[in-house]
Amino acid sequence: MKKFINTVDSLIRESLDGLVAAHGDILTLGAEHKFVRRKTLRPGKVALISGGGSGHEPLHAGFVGYGMLDAACPGQVFTSPTPDQMAAAAEATDTGAGVLYIVKNYEGDVMNFEMAAELAIGQVARVIIDDDVAVETSTYSTGRRGVAGTLVVEKVVGAAAEQGRDLAACRALGERVNQATRSLGVALTSCTVPAAGKPTFTLGESEMEFGVGIHGEPGRRRVPMIAARPLAEEMAGAIVKDLGARVNGNGLLLVNGFGGTPAIELYLMYENLRSVLERHGVKIVRSLVGNYVTSLEMAGCSATLSLLDDEVAKLWDAPVHAAALRWGM
Amino acid sequence: MKKFINTVDSLIRESLDGLVAAHGDILTLGAEHKFVRRKTLRPGKVALISGGGSGHEPLHAGFVGYGMLDAACPGQVFTSPTPDQMAAAAEATDTGAGVLYIVKNYEGDVMNFEMAAELAIGQVARVIIDDDVAVETSTYSTGRRGVAGTLVVEKVVGAAAEQGRDLAACRALGERVNQATRSLGVALTSCTVPAAGKPTFTLGESEMEFGVGIHGEPGRRRVPMIAARPLAEEMAGAIVKDLGARVNGNGLLLVNGFGGTPAIELYLMYENLRSVLERHGVKIVRSLVGNYVTSLEMAGCSATLSLLDDEVAKLWDAPVHAAALRWGM
């Protein structure tokens, strides 16, 4: 295993120190590295908190900032943060309007955020993200997995919270965006969890995992590598089939790299996915291409389609200033 | 070779189509994919043009936009664009104040930009970037190589051009920033050029290339993998030694991923490099961490230190809106 680390134990801590030092204008660290928090809180605003295992950076800490999250709780690599971390983040960000937890649908995350909610003093609500159409249950999840669509929910609800919506409205909006968002991922290589020291799985010289999860969980099937165009047909086809009759109108297309795929290939996949989706009747009016919800250094990518109404499109466009997403300011 | 492509021949074209479709608000394509251009030109502004082999994305096309480049000319992977491309880009962006070519110091690029300058009708000047301290000559270069420091020159001169400085002033500023900027890179793996179909070089299970170039060119030496802290000492040490007595005051630290290294490790390297540089007497007041000047999917990273005076810091902070760099708007 070749990685830029000092020790496996200190990896997350040193990386968070770097993140907060590089973005000291917007971020601050909680005691004992329990969470990354917005430097300046806005009294009376609903506090948005997310978190999960590390190894998916920039998700979630890279999305903490104006117009998005108030705090993110990082676990060890691919391991849920503790209820203690989440409760500490809530205490440090709740300015009276309550806390909304945005939780990817993995058993550890769901359970720990539930326990954190029980520890809370103020009002707490949650939104569970389960946008992955690949499989109905998986290694770490009952029901569908939460993957790159999480970014869309965090951005849109973040803008709504910034505009002063209350906790119930933020939760309802988060559920609505999650329902309108579908993703599917493909892996060309595995990643190596530092504590394990060896690849999570292996793929042959010309194989790919269709429907892979963001921890390297198995997908729908292991298949021979195919060209980008037929692959885009299959990926977009699975998403469109799942959304059914709702596929029309405007959409946001997020082509997300898992960490080891060059930008040149991500933009090529974007081009192929976009044309397939438009043929299916969705007009792609918003786009995002890059490494946003990763699996360490895995080669691969996911496609996320989020159906947009005017309200959600406006919230997507609203200013944001986080380490990994910034516009309008 | 597993890559998201249709054919090797159509890779660059399809990828550029995707880039321009995803960023249609700011970018447009030249005829025959010769260049990517800002959608809206500003009459009377010096036109900034860069370019080079593809495979380093987002450099350069991802830096076209308000406050940075006016056009970028993409060659095939790791192959210089043609003089014809550069001349076409100049013709399409020169609104009367002349053209500044920003050229990385590789023989093909330097020669072709020189030929393009001879074809030009208007005023043309150029800045050659040679920020890599690793080696004095290399596979494709006489003299030092141009690497991630190119981003800093493009950003700072882009802001100056936007503020209305003339061609001579933009060139002088570019040369000054290049002189104040030093980089060094390390590779943990090779990359695979699509047309070659196999890795450019091979490294052992516990080896790294210290001083690698952004095309996988050999560096200073092949050495056993070491921990991040001593590696940061060596990388920062080489940069500091090269700058000599000038090392003091404020600096910009860019920790650049080569394409296959997770963000978590880049921020860890940032943290380690920052503390070493500050011990050497530079105060890091500006930071950038991410995949900006890549070598396809190579695992590895580079450190770039750019010494900042107040003027350059202000130009760095000025608004920019490109596909891969955006703030203040």
Distance in Å, alpha carbon of B118 to nearest chain A alpha carbon: 31
* Collapsed DSSP state (helix, strand, coil) of residue A320: strand
The class (CATH top level) of A181-327 is alpha beta
Residue A98's pLDDT band, with cuts at 50, 70 and 90, is very high
What pLDDT, on a 0 to 100 scale, did the predictor assign at position A121? 85
- Cα A255 from Cα A292, distance rounded (Å): 9
> Do the domains spanning B11-179 and B181-327 agree at the CATH topology level?
no
Cβ of A265 and B291 within 8 Å? no
Chain A CB contacts of B19 below 8 Å: 267, 289
Q: Which of A268, A288, A327 is the closest to B5 by Cβ?
A: A268
What would the pLDDT profile of A114-169 be if each residue is shown by its tens digit?
A: 999 998 889 999 999 999 999 998 888 889 999 999 999 999 999 999 999 999 99
Residue A27 — left, alpha, or beta (φ > 0 → left; ψ -120 to 50 → alpha)?
Answer: beta
User: Which residue in B183, B169, B140 sits closest to B48, CA to CA?
Assistant: B169
Q: Which of A287, A297, A326 is the closest to B260 by Cβ?
A: A297
- Cα A172 from Cα B247, distance rounded (Å): 54
Cβ of B22 and A54 within 8 Å? no
Chain A CB contacts of B261 below 8 Å: 4, 297
Cβ of A6 and B227 within 8 Å? yes
For residues A130 and A117, the answer to whether their CB atoms sit within 8 Å is no
Cβ of B5 and A227 within 8 Å? yes
Chain A CB contacts of B53 below 8 Å: none
What pLDDT, on a 0 to 100 scale, did the predictor assign at position B138? 86
What would the pLDDT profile of B122-164 be if each residue is shown by its tens digit?
A: 999 999 999 999 999 888 888 999 999 999 999 999 999 999 9
Residue A292's pLDDT band, with cuts at 50, 70 and 90, is very high
Chain B CB contacts of A75 below 8 Å: none
* Type of residue found at B107: E
Q: Which of B17, B229, B262 is the closest to A296 by Cβ?
A: B262
Q: Is the pLDDT of residue A34 over 90?
A: yes
For residues B173 and B155, the answer to whether their CB atoms sit within 8 Å is no
**Token digits for A249?**
């109108």
Looking at B23, B60, B215, B280, which residue is catalytic?
Answer: B215
Chain B CB contacts of A263 below 8 Å: 57-58, 62, 259, 291, 294, 324
Cβ of B326 and A327 within 8 Å? yes
- Cα A267 from Cα A285, distance rounded (Å): 16
Looking at A23, A33, A60, A215, which residue is catalytic?
Answer: A215
Chain A CB contacts of B7 below 8 Å: 227
- Percent of chain B scoring above 70 in pLDDT: 100
Q: Which of B205, B287, B301 is the closest to A4 by Cβ?
A: B301
CA angle A316, A232, A53 (to 5 degrees): 55
What average pLDDT does range A196-202 have in this prediction? 96
What pLDDT, on a 0 to 100 scale, did the predictor assign at position A242? 97
Domain A11-179 fold: Rossmann fold (3.40.50)
- Percent of chain A scoring above 70 in pLDDT: 100
Q: Is the pLDDT of residue A179 over 90?
A: yes
Residue B328's pLDDT band, with cuts at 50, 70 and 90, is very high
What would the pLDDT profile of A250-266 be if each residue is shown by its tens digit?
A: 999 999 999 999 999 99
Each domain of chain A, given as residue ranges in start order, spans 11-179, 181-327
- Cα A300 from Cα A163, distance rounded (Å): 36
* Mean of per-residue pLDDT scores for chain B: 97
Maximum CA extent, chain B: 55
Q: How far apart are the first and last CA of chain A?
A: 40
Active site (annotated) includes residue B215 = yes
- Cα A293 from Cα A287, distance rounded (Å): 15
Active site (annotated) includes residue B321 = no
Residue B121's pLDDT band, with cuts at 50, 70 and 90, is confident
Burial code (b: 16+ CB inside 10 Å, e: under 16) for B82-99 equals: bbebbbbbbbbbbeebbb
Distance in Å, alpha carbon of B2 to nearest chain A alpha carbon: 7
**Token digits for A221?**
């099937």
Chain A CB contacts of B11 below 8 Å: 264, 268
Nearest Cα residue in chain A from B3? A265
Q: How many CB pairs under 8 A join A and B?
A: 182
What pLDDT, on a 0 to 100 scale, did the predictor assign at position B273? 98
For residues A237 and A244, the answer to whether their CB atoms sit within 8 Å is no
What would the pLDDT profile of B224-266 be if each residue is shown by its tens digit?
A: 999 999 999 999 999 999 999 999 999 999 999 999 999 999 9
**Token digits for A220?**
């729908």
For residues B328 and B317, the answer to whether their CB atoms sit within 8 Å is yes
CA R_g for chain B: 19
Looking at A33, A56, A60, A280, which residue is catalytic?
Answer: A56
C-alpha distances (whole Å) from A261 to each of A269, A289, B45 are: 11, 12, 36
Burial code (b: 16+ CB inside 10 Å, e: under 16) for A275-287 equals: bbbeebebebebb
Q: Is the pLDDT of residue B120 over 90?
A: no
| φ and ψ at residue A286, rounded to 5 degrees | -135, 145
Maximum CA extent, chain A: 55
| φ and ψ at residue A81, rounded to 5 degrees | -65, 170
Burial code (b: 16+ CB inside 10 Å, e: under 16) for A2-22 equals: bbbbbebeebbbbbbbbbbbb
Mutate to test the interface with A, among B26, B193, B268 (most CBs of A within 10 A): B268
pTM listed for this prediction = 0.98
Q: Which of A15, A205, A270 is the closest to B18 by Cβ?
A: A270
Looking at B23, B33, B56, B321, which residue is catalytic?
Answer: B56
Measured in whole angstroms, the distance separating CA B185 from the mean position of its chain's CA atoms is 13
